[in-house]
Every structure is written in C-alpha cells, then in structure tokens.
C-alpha cells in the first residue's frame, strides 16, 4: 500500500499531514510512504528527514497522485487535485464537507473514498484521532499569545518602583477545547479571566483553571438542549441569546481582551459580540475571533484580516494552528496515524461502515455520498 503526502495548496497553510517520525512508523509496518518534495518545509520537516525515515520523495503533485493508493493531507484538495485522484483512491484530510458539500459530490463522482478528520465521532475510543481537539488546543494557546502581543499593556499584576500595574482582564467566549486552553494560558500569563458557554457543565472546568464562569440563567429545556450527544454546543433560542448578550455586555465594557471560540458544526458562527459591545470597550482593547472562518462571532470581523473598529483591534485570522506548524503538525500526524492503524487490516485500508468511527468519518464511498449530514446538505432547498 502506498500512502502519499502532498504539499498543502491552501493559502497560508504551513502544516503537513505526516511528520518524518510517523512516516517511519508506517514504513516499519510495511507501508510505502511517498512525500511530495517540499511538503513539510514550512513546518521544518525537510525532505532529507523523510528520506532518512525511509520515505520516497516525489517531485510534483501529478506524479504523487498517480502512484497513491491513499492520500493523506491536512486540508481540502483543490479542484485540480481532485481531478488527479485515481478512482478507488482513499483520501483522508480535514475536508469540512458540511460547509462545502459540493466537494463531497465531486469526490463521489470521481470514485474516491473520502474520510474526513473533522467528522470523527467524539467518543472515548476515538479521542486519540480527534484532530478538532488537537488543533483547537494549538489555536487556543496561540490566540492568547496574539492577544498578549497586540494588547498595549501587561497581562500580569506588577508592583514596581514606578507604581502598581493592574492585571489585564479578559473574557473567553466558548469553553470547549480551544476556550479552556485559552483560559489556562491567559491565567498562566497573569490575566484575570472570565468565561461563558451555553453548556453549564463546563463551569467546573473553567473554575479549575482559575477562571470565573459567567452564568446565564437557563430553563430546564435550555439545559437539556445546550449540548449535543457528541459534546458540541448547539444553537440556542433567541430568548437565551438575548439574556446572554445583556449579561455579557456589562462585562465587555471592563475587558481588555476577548477571545471568541463558538462554533456550531455546519452552521455559520453565532454572533456573540455586537458592534455596540465593541464600541463600549476601552480604546486599545483586542478581540481574537477564532470563529472567523465561519463568519465570526464578532460584528466587524473580517476573515483573514486584522481591523480596527471603534479603536478596538479585531483579529480574524482563519487558521491559527498554521501559525504554529511544528506542534500542530506533530499532533495532527499522531491523530492521523491512529486513524490509519484503526483502518488497516493485513497491510491494506478497509472501510468497514459497520464500525462506528469509520462510518462517522467516511464522507464518500462506492461512488456515493454516504455521510448522512453531508448528503442532507446536498439536498435541494425548498424555495
């Protein structure tokens, strides 16, 4: 079996699907690994390191795709790359077909078996394959570092001969993996941190990291619907959003920085910070909108850009893990390797749709879109 590692083609993407170390482990299991020349350069994984691990360096994408039985990548393939995929090839990557379902249609038409890392079920035995969590960990950490660098004041309390400097105050919106990492990192840097989330069960986790949980009163019905079976936050009622916004608006006025992380799979990011809230913040304050790729949690976010609105800096970078490609690649490659081992049988990849993990992550197989949510997204909308 030949596993191919292409160079990522998305703008700003610096990660690569496999490290030389993981490539070497796959080779030790009898797999042939092909790596496109320069694929790992941006993450400091050079061609020579892959050669030393036993991988074969292939000069360009057409040659790579022409030999591959399995293609592993970080993000989505371009249209040109989809055309290079041979019928029967297995493609594994973060395909995001809920937001771009047309990609699934193209892959099915091409006869490609597509497995998406962002569709792996969030169950206990799949935790070591969960790239959403590993990459959110990187993103949450880097978001705080960016906020600390952009903020024109210290994060920690300082007592000096020049006087006492009070600590920065921050709000983290969304206490999932990224949010919890952001809370912990901001606290380690000395900031005072508050956090909010629609899931009341995360209160204890927030407090264990030294944060204060901003609690919105909820009805029993709201508590029951606040979290999906997979652990994701869900869209809340308009009345809940109103109560949440009123409570947060008072806190925002005192905040030096805000980090927003709220995402709902397959849906535009919920708007949590209004233009009026931004205007109420102190000049020089900083907002890091980690949901920028899906439209952003903040009114005024411009995906991929840093903009100033009402004297507040809004950072809408859409791929924070790519700003730390060394650690992000290491974690992604380990997740991917665990999935490959799960799928391998007698030296080949087997797609067993009776297996919960495989079924949940498989988008296309046998010329069809087999992922239920993606197939539903492709259905014609009522006019």
Candidates 100, 19, 88; CA nearest to 294 is 100
Candidates 44, 110, 119; CA nearest to 77 is 110
CA 147 to chain centroid, in Å, comes to: 19
CATH fit for domain 139-323, picks 3.40.50.720, 2.130.10.10, 3.60.15.10, 1.10.3720.10: 3.40.50.720
Report yes or no: 93 and 120 within 8 Å, Cβ to Cβ: no
Token output for 293: 């790729």
pLDDT tens digits, one per residue of 337-354 = 999 999 999 889 999 999
What is the end-to-end Cα distance of the chain in Å, rounded?
A: 47
The pTM for the full model equals 0.91
- Please give the pLDDT value at position 222: 61
CATH of region 2-119+325-368: 3.40.50.720
Q: In what order do the strands lie in the sheet with 192-196?
A: 212-213, 192-196, 169-173, 257-260, 286-289, 312-315, 306-309
pLDDT greater than 70 at residue 232: no
Among 239-243, 254-258, 272-276, 342-346, the least confident range:
239-243
Give the burial class of 368: count Cβ atoms within 10 A of its Cβ; 0-12 exposed, 13-18 middle, 19 or more buried.
exposed
Distance separating alpha carbons of residues 97 and 118, to the nearest angstrom: 9
2-119+325-368 and 139-323 in the same fold: yes
Residues annotated as catalytic (active site), given as ranges? 122, 127, 130, 133, 232
Domain ranges of the chain: 2-119+325-368, 139-323
pLDDT tens digits, one per residue of 120-148 = 999 999 999 999 999 999 999 999 999 99
Distance separating alpha carbons of residues 274 and 281, to the nearest angstrom: 11
Report yes or no: 157 and 180 within 8 Å, Cβ to Cβ: no
The highest-confidence range among 5-14, 196-205, 209-218, by mean pLDDT, is 5-14
pLDDT band at 383 (very low <50, low <70, confident <90, very high): very low
Alpha carbon separation from 273 to 22, 218, 264 (Å, rounded): 41, 20, 16
- Please give the pLDDT value at position 293: 93
- For CA atoms 97, 101, 103, 108, give the dihedral sign: positive
Report yes or no: 109 and 85 within 8 Å, Cβ to Cβ: no
pLDDT greater than 90 at residue 266: no
Distance separating alpha carbons of residues 372 and 204, to the nearest angstrom: 34
Rounded to the nearest integer, the mean pLDDT of the chain is: 93
- Please give the pLDDT value at position 234: 62
CA 285 to chain centroid, in Å, comes to: 25
Q: pLDDT > 90: what percent of the chain?
A: 86
């Amino acid at each position: 079996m030949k596993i191919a590692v292409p160079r990522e083609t998305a703008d700003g993407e610096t990660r690569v699907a496999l490290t030389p170390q993981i490539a070497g482990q796959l080779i030790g299991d009898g797999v042939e690994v092909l790596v496109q020349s320069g694929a790992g350069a941006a993450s400091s994984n050079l061609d020579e390191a892959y050669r030393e691990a036993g991988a074969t360096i292939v000069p360009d994408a057409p040659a790579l795709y022409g030999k591959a039985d399995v293609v592993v990548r970080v993000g989505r393939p371009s249209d040109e790359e989809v055309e290079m995929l041979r019928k029967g090839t297995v493609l594994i990557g973060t395909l995001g077909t809920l937001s771009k379902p047309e990609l699934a249609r193209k892959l099915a038409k091409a006869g490609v078996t597509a497995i998406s890392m962002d569709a792996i079920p969030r169950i206990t035995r799949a935790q070591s394959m969960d790239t959403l969590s590993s990459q959110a960990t990187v993103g949450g950490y880097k978001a705080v570092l960016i906020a600390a660098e952009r903020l024109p004041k210290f994060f920690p309390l300082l007592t000096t001969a020049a006087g006492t400097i009070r600590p920065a105050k921050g709000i983290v919106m969304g206490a999932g993996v990224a949010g919890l990492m952001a809370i912990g990192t901001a606290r380690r840097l000395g900031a005072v941190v508050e956090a909010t989330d629609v899931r009341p069960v995360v209160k204890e986790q927030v407090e264990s990291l030294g944060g204060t949980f901003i609690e919105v009163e909820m009805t029993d019905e709201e508590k029951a619907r606040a979290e999906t079976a997979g652990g994701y936050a869900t869209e809340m009622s308009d009345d809940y959003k109103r109560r949440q916004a009123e409570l947060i608006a008072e806190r925002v006025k005192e905040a030096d920085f805000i980090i927003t992380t709220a995402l709902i799979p397959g849906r535009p990011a919920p708007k949590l910070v209004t233009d009026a809230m931004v205007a109420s913040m102190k000049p020089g304050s900083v907002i890091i909108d980690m949901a920028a790729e899906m439209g952003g949690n903040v009114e005024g976010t411009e995906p991929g850009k840093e903009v100033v609105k009402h004297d507040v800096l809004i950072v809408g970078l859409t791929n924070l893990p790519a700003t730390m490609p060394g650690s992000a690649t290491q974690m992604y490659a380990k997740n991917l390797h665990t999935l490959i081992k799960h799928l391998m049988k007698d030296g080949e990849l087997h797609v067993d749709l009776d297996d919960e993990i495989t079924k949940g992550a498989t988008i296309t197989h046998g010329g069809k879109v087999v992922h239920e949510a993606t197939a539903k997204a492709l259905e014609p909308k009522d006019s």
